[in-house]
Chain A
Amino acid sequence: MPALREVAFSRAKDATAEVFVPSSLDNEQEELAPLRIAAPEMADEDYYSLQSILADNHKLTCSFTLAVEGLGYLEGGTDADLQENAKVELPFWLAQTLSINEFTTFPLPQPYSPRVRAALNASAPSVKLSNQVGSNGWWYRWGSKIADVLDDRPQADLLKIMFRAFVARLPPLQDLSAHHASSDHSVPESGAGTGENFREGMEGDERELFRIGQDSGQMIKAWYDSTWGQRAFARR
């Protein structure tokens, strides 16, 4: 185990070193290269985002590629040591580091499995993404984090699937966010990928988008309904 910890720490140290490079201008030629890599890396992690931290917490089933002393409790058994090939559910933030360093491997998790892909290909708006990654999880966020760990080919595949799904789901999402408040809920819903059915199937980021769209719609509506000189400032 100490070995693992050291790896994690030294990686962290490397990262900070790279970020602080710009202040020291010596060795410009050599030092600039890693900087360009580090900067987008930091931006992608959206450091201050709580959603990102929560998405990091979702469990991923990994199998260890080596035996680890003293970690048997992770498996829930009575063994003191973790055997090679043992399958353990690890939170993603841990699985990520372990997998990058090839201490663990994992099959592509169920939310991104061929079954879900086929459903997305058939009709993206009617797939319920809300319960794929935990309940009300972040399907896109978690997926793109997993993609970061994958090799080139599966990574490109996974990103393409998610990209297509998002683009296909955007129109119904936009319609819904623009018209949800004014639509008539007593009328039974028609299609599987529209209206209430779609709303129930939205994952974390889609729900936020929905809320953003609704909020700006409401703001405009309040403005149209107000009269100049007697504006309603209490909005929410």
Chain B
Amino acid sequence: MALPKHLQHGLTPDELTFLAEEEVISIVPSFSMTKIRVLSGVYGPFVPPSSTSVPLWMALSLKRKRKCRIVAPEWLQVERLQALLKEEKENQDGFNKLPRRFIETGKVLLDVAPDDLHLPAQLRSLLKDLREVRQAKIRLGLQSEGVMQGSYLQMNGLTPLELMELKPFLVKAMGVLQTLEPRKEERDGYGASQT
């Protein structure tokens, strides 16, 4: 109750990005260093031309200091995204399964390391298209007949970020619907307790 309204419904996009920064990504360092130990594990050694895996936050931080080159994840490539987009459009009944931190990782990489990606402008517009196709599906799905009348709603394949955008509205709407549902047997008991 003490939390500000916009934090009450769950994680914010910034918090989700923070979580995404724990995922491991490959980098090619441009400096030499032995292994290092951080809370999440031991990373390194950093030996220039060979690549190594570090958490995303470390990769981004090193990148901003121009100390490494980030190796793009295999899904962040124009051909892969085009294929994903095509699949997403063809699959009218559900959502394609994306990597869990797909949106967040894609966005921060495009923010910080566009020069390490192949055709960043195209990647950006593909990611946007993908988002729009999925948003349109969400909208259609919610507005189709009878969806909101059940006691729960199942949506497979949404990433946490998309869910976060949707959840506050849905929770409130279903709360209102719940108060309008037919009253159950409780009436009888209520009458009985008076006597």
List residues of A whose CB falls within 8 A of some B CB.
Answer: 11, 14, 18, 33-34, 36-37, 40-41, 44, 48, 100-101, 140-141, 144, 147-148, 152, 155-156, 159-160, 162-163, 166-167, 170-171, 174-175, 177-178, 205, 208-209, 212-213, 215-217, 219-220, 222-224, 227-229, 231, 235-236
Contact = CB atoms under 8 A, between A and B. Distances in A.
A158 B70 CA distance: 61
Interface of B: 1, 5-6, 9, 12-14, 17, 60, 64, 107-108, 111-112, 139, 142-143, 148-149, 161, 164-169, 172-173, 176-177, 179-183, 186-187, 189-190, 193-194
Among the interface residues A216, A227, A228, A236, which one has the most CB atoms of the partner chain B within 10 A?
A228
B142 A140 contact: no
A175 B139 contact: yes
B183 to A, nearest CB: 6
Contact of B13 (A11, A148, A155, A220): A220
A174 B143 contact: yes
A178 B165 CA distance: 10
A72 B186 CA distance: 36
Contacts of A160: 182
A230 to B, nearest CB: 9
A229 B17 CA distance: 11
B183 A167 contact: no
B186 A223 contact: no
A35 B69 CA distance: 64
A166 B181 CA distance: 11
A6 B60 CA distance: 70
Given A37-B193, A148-B183, A219 B13 contact: yes
7 contacts: A36-B189, A166-B176, A212-B172, A216-B165, A219-B6, A228-B112, A235-B6
Nearest to A162: B180
B73 to A, nearest CB: 16
Nearest to A163: B180
Contacts of B167: 216
Contacts of A37: 186, 189-190, 193
Contacts of B177: 163, 166-167
A216 B176 CA distance: 19
Contacts of B14: 223, 231
A216 B164 contact: yes
A201 B165 CA distance: 25
B88 to A, nearest CB: 19
A151 B166 CA distance: 37
Contacts of B5: 215
B182 A170 contact: no
A227 B9 CA distance: 24
Nearest to B177: A166
Among the interface residues B165, B179, B181, B190, which one has the most CB atoms of the partner chain A within 10 A?
B179
A140 B180 contact: yes
A54 to B, nearest CB: 15
A235 B108 CA distance: 20
B47 to A, nearest CB: 27
